[in-house]
Structures are given as structure tokens and as C-alpha cells.
Amino acid sequence: MGLNNQWMQRDLAVLWHPCTQMKDHEQLPLIPIKRGEGVWLEDFEGKRYLDAVSSWWVNVFGHANPRINQRIKDQVDQLEHVILAGFSHQPVIELSERLVKMTPAGLTRCFYADNGSSCIEVALKMSFHYWLNRDQPNKKRFVTLTNSYHGETMAAMSVGDVPLFTETYKALLLDTIKVPSPDCYLRPEGVSWEAHSRTMFLAMEQTLAEHHDTVAAVIVEPLIQGAGGMRMYHPVYLTLLREACDRYGVHLILDEIAVGFGRTGTMFACEQAGITPDFLCLSKALTGGYLPLAACMTTDDVYGAFYDDYPTLRAFLHSHSYTGNPLACAAALATLDIFEEDNVIENNKALAQRMARSTAHLTDHLHVSEVRQTGMVLAIEMVQDKASKTAYPWQERRGLKVFQHALERGALLRPLGSVVYFLPPYVITPEQIDFLAEVASEGIDIATRTDISVSVPSNFHPDFRDPG
């Protein structure tokens, strides 16, 4: 029995993995990773895999980055953790100062959580509580987009709309208002991204006009709906949304957990619309992919609604044990140093162009309906019929075939259903991008030329997707 298999058997005896049907591992080998370096992950038998998805979208400057490593090592000798209620520490203060300085003007306060879903919960609770403190208790509903994803805790699921994640738990979720997504994938032929996004905004305008008296906030993923299949839209939608939220007296929550820190081509996606949200949710790349940390950033107006004498009970009594953990803050500070010192955003432009060139040939593939891109995210959508954009039944798991082929070739590509995507660390080289394009092209050929027979149940739901 090889080393990989030994570790796999020990794992399967005790672990329950996230976002996984564990029975799959009766046929699909689990891959134990021993070490990482740069864009590479290495298993216990020495095989390497190029991490094309940044280990669930978190790793931006490579595995075992020496600069982040050193900052964490220095911090662990000083302070590993301290309660953030009534106490503070240098890394969290410095990180907060830098986040306030680098995010859009008006975001002046940082509230920390442990992960993306928890950060969304903070923003939702804070918005609801704000209106309560402002004597508007009727404003307690949230507006969200169809096909959106904001995490897997209860309130975060409530404002999501990917059925695979939410359908089972419907009875537990908040009553939210869903508005059609500005997703440009299904725009009419000849219509630009901007024109389509403007048209789709009419539904949001109407919803806010009708329901603003009972709505606390609108929450959206700016520019890219990640777990919804890397669907994309034009920044003008965000500009119009900010104007409408101001007009109707509704908060705007931007979930930049996946798209912040350079992923869309600017440091924050909302910069492309020239707007400031009332709440900006950040996580994932914040620590360079090292440690769990999230920041919910907000304004002086929101902060002021909670600032009062204790007996009024206006305080935001929300906490996490590891809020503002010094080690995570140290990793985040090192990550921000790299952004400042290495001209990352500008360098990414050349890498994004290489991604576009290396995959351009796939636009002519018989079973590829679209190759779309926003900054350092590129998605290739496989379909049953190109002309009508008819999707493959999700039960066929075409993306799984791409995933399996990529592993054989030494790449970690984890498609979202039938959407193959590149979301690599920013330290990837042009040659490594070409390799990924080659592997993806081969995998798509294999996945789309194979006849797959599956039984489709009577309650077949065409919007279900593999989670990726």
C-alpha cells in the first residue's frame, strides 16, 4: 500500500469532508497533500498538482510564501491570541488602519469575524439592528439576486439562491425577496453586457419601489456570481443599485469575499462602479489563504446608530471567540505588504490577457457556449447544444470528468457543474497558464464526447449544479 493510500484510508476512517458526497470516494481517490510551494501542491508520493482554483479561492501569493511565513513566525513569538472585547493588539489595529485607507472612501469601521459566511451574518444582523435602533423596526427583509451565493450558515443561505445549497433547508431560512440576476450569459444576441445589465436592473428598481419600507438591505456579489457558475455582469448595475439604495433608504451590502483583493482586475470590484457600499464583506484572500479571517467594513453612520449608553441596549452584541486573531491579522498584513510592494494589480493584467489568449480557441468548441472573463477569473461553460445553450443534465457530472483528467495531468481544476474555471494564485507564470489551458481543453474534449446515461428523476431540477 502506497503512502497516499495509507493516508487516504486513515482519513476516510475518521473525517467527513465539506461539500462532498463521501460515497464518491469509493471510486474517486482522495488526495492527501504533504506540502505546498508557490502554485504547486505535492502529495505523499511526490506528484505535484497546479492549484488552478487557489484552494477554494483563498491563496493569492502561493503556498508557503516566505514573506507571509516569516510574519506569522514573528507574531507567534509575541502574541497568539487575546480576547478582543475590552482588549486590543497591534496587528488588528494596524490591519484596520490599512483596510480603512485602501477601501472606498466612507468605510471607516472594521468588525471582524472568522470566515466569509460569518461575515455575511454580521452584515445582515448589523443592518437589521441599525434600522431597529433608528426606530424603523419594519425594515427587516433582505433583497438578493437569483443564482447568488453568500455562504452556508443560516442567514447567509437565506440570501443565497443556488438550490443545491438551499433547497434542503428551506424550512429554516429567512423570507427574502429575490430579484432576477443581471448575469449576462443569457443576454439576447447582439446585446452588450452593459445594455443587458441596465435592462435587468429594472426589476431591482421596481422591487425597491414596492418594498423599500420593509427592506433593510440589498446584498449582491459584485461583478461575478461565484458558486452560481462564475456568471458575470457589468459594473453599471452596481452604479444603478447604489443610486437606488440611496433613493429608497436601503442599505447596500457588497459581498467581496471571493472577488476582493485584485481578483476582478481592481483591488475591489466596487471600484469599477465608483461606489461605496454601506457594508463591505471581505475574507478569503485577506490573509493570503493562510488563516481564517473576515472583515465587515461599514460607515460612521452605521457605527453611530449603535453608539449609546449601555442601558439603551443599542450595542452590537455579536462575537466570535477568535475575532481579530493576531496570527491571522499578521498574515493579512504581510499579504497587504505584497500588494503594495510588488505592483500586483498591474502585473495581473498581463496574466489575465494570457488566460484570454490561451483559451480563445475554445470559443469555437462544439460544446462550449461561452468563454467569459473578469480580471483573474476565467470561465468556460460546457453545454449539450451550443446554439440554444442547452445545459447538460447535472446528474451527468461532466465537470467531474474534467476534474479527473486534470488530476492525471497534474492540475487541480474543480469545475462548478459544467463550468470549468481558472482562478489561480497571482504568482502563476504565463507558461503555467498555457499548461492549464491545454489540460482544460483536453478535459473538455473528453467530457463532451462521452455519452453518459443517467436516469433523470421526475422531480428533476435543472438549476441544480455540482458545487465545485
pLDDT in tens, 229-238: 999 999 999 9
Mean pLDDT of 435-447: 98
Judge whether 319 is annotated as a binding position.
yes
Judge whether 116 is annotated as a binding position.
yes
3-state secondary structure of 372: strand
The DSSP output letter for 76 is H
The pLDDT value given to residue 460: 54
How many CB atoms sit inside 10 A of residue 195's CB? 15
Mean pLDDT of 171-182: 97
The pLDDT value given to residue 54: 98
Q: Give me the CATH code for the 67-342 domain, please.
A: 3.40.640.10
Domains 31-64+344-448 and 67-342 share a fold: no
pLDDT band with cut points at 50, 70 and 90 for residue 450: confident
Closest CA to 38 of 17, 79, 5, 67: 67
Domain ranges of the chain: 31-64+344-448, 67-342
* Residue 40 or 165, more confident: 40
Helices 236-248 and 193-211 cross at an angle (nearest 10°) of 20
Is residue 454 over pLDDT 70? no
Residues in contact with 77: Cβ distance below 8 Å, sequence separation at least 6, in sequence order: none
Give the pTM: 0.96
User: Which residues pair with residue 296 across a beta bridge?
Assistant: 111, 281
pLDDT digits (tens, 9 = 90+) for 383-434: 999 999 999 999 999 999 999 999 999 999 999 999 999 999 999 999 999 9
Mean pLDDT over the full length of the chain = 96
Is residue 336 over pLDDT 80? yes
Mean pLDDT of 338-355: 97
The pLDDT value given to residue 453: 61
In total, the chain counts a number of residues equal to: 468
Residues in contact with 356: Cβ distance below 8 Å, sequence separation at least 6, in sequence order: 373, 378
Judge whether 414 is annotated as a binding position.
yes
Judge whether 56 is annotated as a binding position.
yes
Is residue 185 over pLDDT 70? yes
Report d(CA 281, CA 293) in Å as an integer. Answer: 11
pLDDT band with cut points at 50, 70 and 90 for residue 461: low
Judge whether 117 is annotated as a binding position.
yes
Mean pLDDT of 328-339: 98
3-state secondary structure of 191: coil
268: which 3 cell numbers? 475591489
Looking at CATH, the fold of the domain delimited by 31-64+344-448 is given as Aspartate Aminotransferase, domain 1 (3.90.1150)
Judge whether 453 is annotated as a binding position.
no
The torsion region of residue 367 among left (phi > 0), alpha (psi -120 to 50) and beta comes to alpha
The pLDDT value given to residue 207: 98
356: which 3 cell numbers? 484570454
Mean pLDDT of 197-218: 98
For the chain, percent of residues with pLDDT exceeding 90: 95
Is residue 457 over pLDDT 80? no
Torsions phi, psi for 149 (to 5 deg): -145, 130
